[in-house]
Structure 1
Amino acid sequence: DAEALQSATSWLAKILPKVGAWLFGQVSKVASWFGVLAGLALIPVYAFYFLLEKEGIEKKWTDYLPIARSGFKDELVFVLRSINGYLIAFFRGQVIVALCDGILYTIGFFIVGLPYAFLLGVMATVLTMIPFLGAITTCLMALVIAFVQFGDWWHPLGVLTVFAVVQTLEGLVISPKIMGERVGLHPLTIIIAVMAGTTLLGGLLGGILAIPLTAALRVIMFRYVWKKREA
């Protein structure tokens, strides 16, 4: 009995730390997910109060900058306002690009004969507002539907063809044209910026931030470099 009690005690001594660590990990995961859900739930609340105080924020936000009134503060306010304008133009342009992608996906999926082509196009319109990730998600869902519905290789191949054509048109024609007009950047500049962003900043994040960062750089260069050279 003493030996059994001792072995049970030693077994508990070994297993309890592992169980505790596992429970702590699970609680941490639940807490992190709860934090994410709570943050998402608060977004409408934040949006409501921001919209409610929109006029006051637009008029007085410069008063909250921790800088005394000076020429430097005026320059900073000008740059921030210019960058904000470019960001607004960027996101509006992204919505138009997403609409174009959704229409092209719908037409392409109809041609391939894919069921729920219209719904997939609507989903693509919503998801494509998130560059790269939305397109990949749309393609994967369309591939799953093609495999399940037809059970052959021709329809998935058609889906991949539609995906390749739409992404090529978006990357080389639609996005540079629309973003160039909205953000004030040359289409070739946008293509180079996206390529550089995905390479230097890394994948998805770089692709998303490439155009806004390039627009911000354009504001600074135009204000402090090119203008001075012209003068």
Structure 2
Amino acid sequence: MSEHIERIISSTKVLHFISVCVAILASVALAFCLIFTKSVSMPFVIAVLIYTVLAPMIRFLTKKTKMPNLLILSLTFLAVCGLTALVAIFIYNSIGSFISGADAYREKLIDIANWATFTASKYNFHIDNAFILDALRNLPVFTFVKSLGSVLLSLSISTFLVIIILFFFFAGSRAAEQKTTKESKTMQEIQSRISFYITVKVAVSLITGIVVWIILGAFNVELAFMFGFITFFLNFIPNVGSIVAVLLPVPVIFLQYGLGSRFIIIMSLAITAQFVLGNIIEPKVMGSAVDMHPVTVICALVVWSLIWGIAGAFLAVPLTAAIQVVMARFKTTAPLAELMAGRIPSF
């Protein structure tokens, strides 16, 4: 009898080990599949996330208002398209203003190079000023514009695909609602957690971007609005995004004011705003909506960045949160979901 029980236990362990190995191999295969199908899979996932955020709002408006569901879906879709168009126009105008001011920035860099060379010569440090000035005068601005143009073209195609896929989601949601009115618990939890996370993240990032814009604008820093806009987007990247957002305006502030008191005040205010909003207010509002350990967030950021680049960094947290919810529903993967939350699982 005892031998029979031992055989059952050992066979169960073997099956569990095989299941884990198969899951690892499937995850690696899926990662390679996502990399090779990036041009299609990434817009599809972005459309799914956007629809996940908007679906609760659509259901709420359908219940609370007397408007037909089809009209609400149409208005929501048009609002998304309009917002996308406004963002595209703003990005185009910001890049245009930056490129038009390239000559002015080049001249400021030349002035700083002359000052640095003169200061170094006082302390018997000899710098080839002619080489530096020649390099600054021949900065590859047009090469940068060309590469930027190809990036914007790729971004435009991806945005168009997102809108098309989102249209089919909106078109199919009405048919799905007519068939069933009860969603599974797993889907409800995924939708709730991702929707809450993205909503809070958008609100906090928007406030951070506005505060940064006000700080830079108060000191008449050039491109203040663009830096505020970039800060809004970079705050979606966990941990790293806020650091990059603080460092981005540094060259422009340095070119305008040098390393004086204004530079120190502006940077101090920007760093304080990022720290208070990102490390004090956001965690309190977010609570346990995203039940993931900071190490899990960093690992997710690295993995999704390797798969989809910068877009993967933006999508890392909501995608990992969805995967964690699904894993928690199955007995085999539930311990790993607990580990992702920073809790020691009981095997």
Equivalent position of 2:104 in the other structure:
none
Deviation at 1:95, TM superposition (A): 0.9
SS of residue matched to 2:248: helix
1:93 to 200, 213, 236: 200
Q: Retained in 1: the 8 A contact 2:227–2:249?
A: yes
Equivalent position of 2:215 in the other structure:
108
**Structure 1 120/201 Cα, relative in aligned 2: closer, same or farther at 3 Å?**
closer
SS of residue matched to 1:139: helix
Where structure 1 has 5 or more consecutive residues not aligned to the other structure, the ranges are: 1-31, 63-73, 226-231
Q: Residues of 2 paired with 1:148 and 1:216: CA distance?
A: 45
Amino acid at match of 2:255: V
SS of residue matched to 1:52: helix
Equivalent position of 1:124 in the other structure:
231
**Structure 1 113/122 Cα, relative in aligned 2: closer, same or farther at 3 Å?**
same
Equivalent position of 2:175 in the other structure:
56
Query: For 1:131-150, what aligned pairs fall within 5 Å after superposition?
Result: 131-132=238-239, 134-150=241-257
2:269 to 151, 162, 168: 162
Q: Retained in 2: the 8 A contact 1:147–1:155?
A: no
**Structure 1 203/157 Cα, relative in aligned 2: closer, same or farther at 3 Å?**
farther
Q: Retained in 1: the 8 A contact 2:211–2:273?
A: yes
Equivalent position of 1:21 in the other structure:
none
Deviation at 1:146, TM superposition (A): 0.5
Q: Residues of 2 paired with 1:148 and 1:134: CA distance?
A: 23
Equivalent position of 2:296 in the other structure:
197
How many pairs are equivalent? 175
Deviation at 1:126, TM superposition (A): 4.1
1:84 to 180, 191, 198: 191
Amino acid at match of 1:143: V
Q: Retained in 2: the 8 A contact 1:93–1:179?
A: yes
Q: Retained in 2: the 8 A contact 1:124–1:135?
A: yes
**Structure 1 121/175 Cα, relative in aligned 2: closer, same or farther at 3 Å?**
same
Between the aligned residues of both structures, percent identity stands at 20
Deviation at 1:134, TM superposition (A): 4.7
Q: Retained in 2: the 8 A contact 1:105–1:163?
A: yes
More helix by share: 1
Q: Retained in 2: the 8 A contact 1:142–1:159?
A: no
Q: Residues of 2 paired with 1:121 and 1:141: CA distance?
A: 10
Q: Retained in 1: the 8 A contact 2:237–2:314?
A: no
Could you say what the CA RMSD is over the residues aligned between the two structures, in angstroms?
A: 4.3
Q: Retained in 2: the 8 A contact 1:112–1:158?
A: no
Q: Retained in 2: the 8 A contact 1:196–1:210?
A: no
SS of residue matched to 2:259: coil
Equivalent position of 2:103 in the other structure:
none
Amino acid at match of 1:46: I
Q: Residues of 2 paired with 1:77 and 1:176: CA distance?
A: 29
Deviation at 1:214, TM superposition (A): 5.4
Q: Retained in 2: the 8 A contact 1:98–1:129?
A: yes
Amino acid at match of 1:197: T
Deviation at 1:130, TM superposition (A): 4.3
Equivalent position of 1:67 in the other structure:
none
Q: Residues of 2 paired with 1:204 and 1:114: CA distance?
A: 36
**Structure 1 37/127 Cα, relative in aligned 2: closer, same or farther at 3 Å?**
same
Amino acid at match of 2:215: G
Equivalent position of 2:161 in the other structure:
42
Q: Residues of 1 paired with 2:221 and 2:194: CA distance?
A: 36
Deviation at 1:101, TM superposition (A): 0.9
**Structure 1 54/60 Cα, relative in aligned 2: closer, same or farther at 3 Å?**
same
Where structure 2 has 5 or more consecutive residues not aligned to the other structure, the ranges are: 1-149, 305-312, 335-347
Q: Residues of 1 paired with 2:300 and 2:209: CA distance?
A: 27
- When the two structures are superposed, what TM-score results if normalisation uses the length of structure 2? 0.39
Q: Residues of 2 paired with 1:124 and 1:82: CA distance?
A: 30
